[in-house]
Amino acid sequence: MECTLIGAPLQIGAGQLGCEMGPSALRIAGLRTALEELGHTVKDIGNLTPRTFDEMPHPNAAVHHLGETVAWVEALSAAAYEHGKAGMPIFLGGDHAISAGTVPGLARRAAERGRPLFVLWLDAHTDFHSLETTASGNLHGTPVAYYTGQAGFDGYFPALAHAVPTENVCMIGIRSVDPAEQAAIRKTGITVHDMRVIDEHGVGVLVRTFIERVRAANGLLHVSFDVDFLEPDIAPAVGTTVPGGATFREAHLIMEMLHDSDLVTSLDIVELNPFLDERGKTAKLLVDLVASLMGKRVMDRPTLAG
């Protein structure tokens, strides 16, 4: 498969600086080599840059960097649409605000192909705030509400050509949700699996059920992977750590099951903050997880000599 690496060094959607170094850290950790060793063709187009922008005021005084975020959304949406026509675009964040651009662009491309887009959201947070409800003003907490066509973005974010139906979104690993997000999500068709559901049923059952839904609809599957989906002990390089995340084994199981499904057509890797990492520990783990998604097996992994 042809994989296209697309850097998106956006960090103004988060509350803590450092995510703009994420694309470089993933490259240095060997992402391209890992994919090539699996037989994939890899093209790295470098990092995107947004257009020149003006700051945009908003009635919610907490909202910050709105103009810059909108410029990034436009650039990412165009790139996702272009590179979603063939192969596997892999977007290297950057904070999770990048998904406000990647998903709409991919949804537009999917609609032209006559197939629905589904999104697997692997994250500790639902990111379902609108510009009106966010108390922090950090716009990495808004992408899902935006790309599913919720109210509160008109006149600011670009108009959506094809919103993703909420029934096509599945969230796994959720363990930090604001009251406003809870109230809004309950009115939608989004499937939300928090960590208790994972503990009770196992992650494999949840992923398999969603994969079957995507296959039944002849859908295309976009995976959006936030570092804080993982347990902070194994992935410390994120500014929004929440205890009780997915384990190493759970994360690899998900990726291997997704590979076996042959449904995944695009990927976001977001919120990697190398400034908070421990000798590249998190970046290397993410590269290994992407490799699992792209076909690497446990039997392929070298072990240290005893």
- Options 127, 181, 277, 288, the catalytic residue: 127
Catalytic one of 64, 65, 125, 162:
125
Identity (one letter) of the amino acid at 117? L
260 annotated active-site? no
Residue at 114 is within a domain = yes
Query: Residue 306's pLDDT is what?
Result: 47
The answer to the question of residue 303 being in a domain is: no
201 carries an active-site annotation: no
Q: Is 277 annotated as a binding residue?
A: no
Judge whether 277 counts as a catalytic residue: no
Q: How far apart are CA 227 and CA 274, in angstroms?
A: 11
Residue 304 included in any domain: no
With residue 89 as reference, give the H or E element that holds it: strand 88-93
List of residues 6+ apart from 10 with CB closer than 8 A: 19, 20, 69, 72, 93, 94, 95, 97, 98
Is 271 a catalytic site residue? yes
Which residues sit opposite 174 in a β-bridge? 194
Q: Looking at residue 297, what is its pLDDT?
A: 85
How do beta strands 220-226 and 264-270 pair?
A: parallel
Give residue 304's pLDDT.
56
Domain at 54, CATH number: 3.40.800.10
Question: Annotated catalytic, 54?
Answer: no
Instruction: Give the side-chain half-sphere CA count within 13 A for 124.
Output: 21
23 lies in some domain: yes
Q: What is the mean pLDDT of each run of 10 residues along the chain (306 residues)?
A: 97 82 98 98 98 94 96 98 96 96 98 98 97 95 97 96 98 95 96 95 97 98 97 94 94 97 98 96 98 86 56
Q: Tell me if 142 sits within 8 A of 117, measured CB to CB.
A: no
44 known ligand binder: no
- Of 68, 181, 226, 256, the active-site residue reads 226
Amino acid at 252: H
Secondary structure class of 103 (helix, strand, coil): helix
Q: Is residue 50 part of a domain?
A: yes
* Total domains, the chain: 1
pLDDT value, residue 26: 98
pTM of the predicted model as reported, rounded to 2 decimal places: 0.95
288 is in an annotated binding site: no
35 in a structural domain: yes
Asked about 36 being catalytic, the answer comes back as no
- pLDDT of amino acid 240: 82
The residues that bridge with 121 in the sheet, in sequence order, are: 171, 224
**Residue 123 labeled ligand binder:** yes
**Residue 264 is assigned to a structural domain of this protein:** yes
- Tell whether 127 is in a known binding site: yes
CA–centroid distance for 87 within its chain: 18
Dump the DSSP string for 189-238: --EEEEHHHHHHH-HHHHHHHHHHHHHHTT-EEEEEEEGGGB-TTT----
Question: In angstroms, how far is CA 189 from the centroid of its own chain?
Answer: 19
Q: Which residues pair with 176 in a beta bridge?
A: 125
What's the pLDDT score for residue 198?
95
Q: Is 162 a catalytic residue?
A: no
- Respond yes or no: is residue 129 known to be catalytic: no
The range of the structural domain enclosing residue 242 comes to 2-298
Asked if residue 209 belongs to a domain, the reply is: yes
